[in-house]
């Protein structure tokens, strides 16, 4: 993880005159979506689209986003754990983007029917996210490609810690806590749950805020709640879930983001994944602008984690591009960017299978994520 955010005193002046222009934010998010592509020239031609379209898209991406890793021979050596992919030609290196996304995933299971066995299986997949022969084809089999963390309920933390220890890897276990997902739990209970999760071995804690404090404008109360949760986390890094789909407005999203960072959050996270509306690009733009402002004001870099509804490789790449556009390449690493997902890895592995073999994976070709 990156250096901890020490937080600040509550500065209501930072949020007192906030105004967010929703149409402008939505337009910007729509532009980002138009830039995305996970198809190489050879795929696009196969679908009847011209190579010129792919070339124009690549030029546009490089000019607008400064992305130089779209061609293998131009990929910066720091893009994927400091190693270059061993493929040739002018194929768009979507594999580089996809492997980058894999290393930023918090592989998650948050179901009522979670058992030790399915948590163990999840941990094995966390250590081996992409089939070994596919990584060998790209000369990435010995580069330590794993997901960023495994995320479970507090009751399953011990199972995950033991499974990862048995597998001989140092992937951290993250635990949701503090009344997840509703936040409708007394503060004393939230703090006790956090402490138990840390005691069980969680190195990262994903807390959820009380949305009522935002909706009623109780910023001092929100600050104090998050500050106490941070204190209860101890050495464990804290991600603060804002549940943005239930905050009422983008202005509230910005204000809650700033308060969470003032209170010492190491990450701010969009959603629990249980709301009707989860991670959306407009919300991401607003939260990243808050992160940038907080960095300018304090010098502390706070991470960003979109979660909920991110299921496809296209969506993952779009989020990577948005982070690059808003925060810069410094944030494109697991210490400052995570993708909360349970089914995303399966689609990414399918895309990499297609990239390596030129054919689409059958149900039996890939282990389920």
Active site residues: 206, 269, 305
Phi, psi (rounded to 5 degrees) for 360: -90, 145
* Matching residue, tokens 């597998």: 167
Closest CA to 250 of 225, 221, 281: 281
Phi, psi (rounded to 5 degrees) for 315: -65, -40
CA 346 vs CA 15, 308, 341, 358: distances in Å = 40, 15, 10, 17
Give dist(CA 84, CA 132) in Å, integer.
17
Give dist(CA 103, CA 140) in Å, integer.
13
Sequence-ordered alpha helix ranges (H) in the chain: 22-35, 41-46, 51-65, 94-103, 116-127, 132-137, 157-166, 187-200, 211-215, 219-233, 250-262, 281-298, 313-326, 344-357
């Amino acid at each position: 993880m990156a250096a901890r955010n020490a937080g600040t005193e509550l500065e209501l002046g930072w949020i007192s005159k906030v105004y967010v222009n929703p149409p402008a934010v939505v337009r910007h998010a729509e532009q980002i979506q138009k830039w995305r592509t996970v198809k190489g020239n050879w795929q696009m031609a196969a679908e009847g689209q011209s190579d010129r379209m792919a070339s124009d898209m690549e030029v546009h991406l490089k000019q607008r986003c400064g992305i130089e890793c779209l061609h293998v021979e131009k990929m910066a050596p720091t893009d994927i754990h400091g190693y270059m992919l061993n493929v040739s030609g002018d194929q768009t290196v979507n594999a580089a983007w996809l492997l980058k996304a894999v290393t930023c995933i918090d592989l998650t299971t948050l179901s009522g029917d979670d058992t030790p066995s399915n948590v163990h299986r999840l941990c094995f997949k966390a250590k081996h996210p992409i089939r070994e022969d596919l990584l060998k084809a790209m000369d990435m089999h010995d580069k330590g490609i794993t997901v960023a963390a495994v995320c479970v309920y507090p009751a399953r933390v011990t199972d995950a810690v033991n499974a990862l220890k048995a597998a001989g890897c140092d992937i951290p276990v993250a635990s949701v806590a503090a009344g997840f997902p509703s936040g409708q739990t007394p503060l004393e209970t939230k703090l006790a749950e956090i402490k138990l999760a840390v005691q069980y071995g969680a190195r990262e804690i994903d807390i959820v805020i009380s949305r009522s404090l935002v909706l009623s404008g109780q910023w001092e109360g929100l600050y104090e709640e998050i500050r106490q949760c941070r204190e209860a986390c101890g050495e464990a890094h804290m991600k603060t879930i804002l549940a943005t789909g239930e905050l009422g407005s983008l202005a509230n999203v910005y204000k809650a983001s700033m308060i969470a960072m003032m209170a010492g959050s190491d990450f701010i996270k969009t959603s629990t994944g249980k709301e009707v509306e989860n991670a959306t690009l407009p919300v991401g733009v607003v939260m990243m602008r808050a992160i940038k402002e907080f960095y300018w004001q304090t010098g502390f870099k706070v991470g960003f984690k979109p979660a909920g509804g991110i299921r496809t490789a296209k969506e993952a790449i779009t989020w990577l591009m948005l982070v690059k556009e808003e925060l810069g390449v410094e944030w494109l690493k697991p210490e400052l960017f995570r993708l909360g997902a349970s089914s995303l890895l399966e689609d990414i592995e399918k895309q990499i299978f297609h990239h390596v073999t030129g054919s689409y994976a059958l149900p039996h070709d890939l282990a389920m994520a």
